[in-house]
Amino acid sequence: MAAAVSGHCVLPTNKLSLSSSSSSFSGNVLVRLPQLSLFSPPSRAIGGKISCQSSSVTSSPPAPAFGKEKPQWNDFLHIDDFDKATIMKMLDRAAEVKALLKSGERVYLPFKGKTMAMIFAKPSMRTRVSFETGFFLLGGHAIYLGPDDIQMGKREETRDVARVLSRYNDVIMARVFAHQDILDLAKYSSVPVINGLTDYNHPCQIMADALTMIEHVGQLEGTKVVYVGDGNNIVHSWLLLASVVPFHFVCACPKGFEPDQKTVEKARRAGISKIEITNDPKEAVRGADVVYSDVWASMGQKEEAAHRRQDSNWQVDEQLMKLAGPRAYFMHCLPAERGVEVTDAVIEAPNSIVFAQAENRMHAQNAIMLHALGL
């Protein structure tokens, strides 16, 4: 049984000094406080200050079974969850905050006093360092939870993980295998959830890519982006972006490795961008602003690598880049298997912007987190 206590607090009617040397005051008033349970809810914060008013158990509305309700737009799960204006606003914000950090100033601390839980079912250098460093530089503290720390879905159900972590943290980022896991985290969490990657999509990477294109090509709208390789989570995110922002997207992939057909149809139905799926990489790259590649076998899919390596037509080499034209940039989300999907010479060429992409992961994600937290 919860013990109940009643008490009094003494409040001054004149002034109360906050100086450490002040040890007394006069004109005290005795105020009777209502009976409180030791297990009653904590005091409410009003206008940034703590209120002495306690919450009545009988007057408070019941909480949903999965925790506090939240606006759905706070989550960042798919790029096409947002309209063009919101996407472009986040990209503008990313550029602004990047410039501020590049200037050396460390006075902008919107995440001060906030914590982020980072769930990694799939390990990643770029995702961890970019999120953790970005959150720290803007005043926050990130907590890394590796594959063995939670074993989400095995040792503990995803819905329980979401409800526990959202009571400790202000935001959750997760890099997982099954897309359903990120959806369940968002459903049961009472704080924003950011998709750090799933087997279906990788929205943070594409936001970083869009920022990089704006910096180097000069714009995103009206460009031609050609992806060479299998239709994976990167392709799905490009398709979802193309359903919101107008540009020409081509996926040149081997037969049998096309992207998810429903996602392709969704992008085409949007009527925003020109979408092409082809099995001819040489024809696809002509006139491209960007030629994009990725590893042929992602983590957890290595058994497919040997089959894909049998066809060298899908390697981005100097000859393929010449077909694309002198203005074409090369992009890769990294890590790259040099000599497999791309040659060393292409990665090291002057028109390769792969490391600018990697850096922009942090800046794009900073903007995403600012938006998710309403800052």
Q: Catalytic residue positions?
A: 333
* Single-letter amino acid code for the residue at 269: R
First to last CA, the chain: 42
Identify which of 124, 201, 125, 198 has the alpha carbon closest to the alpha carbon of residue 158.
Answer: 198
The DSSP result for 299-324, as a single string, is TT-GGGHHHHHT-GGG-B-HHHHHHH
| Distances 2 to 5, 53, 152 between C-alpha atoms, Å | 10, 20, 33
Distance between CA atoms of residues 252 and 250, nearest Å: 6
Structure tokens that stand for 195 in this block: 């998709």
Task: Please count the other Cβ atoms lying within 10 Å of the Cβ belonging to residue 65.
Answer: 8
| Three-state helix/strand/coil letters over 18-31 | CCCCCCCCCCEEEE
d(CA 70, CA 192) in angstroms, rounded, equals 8
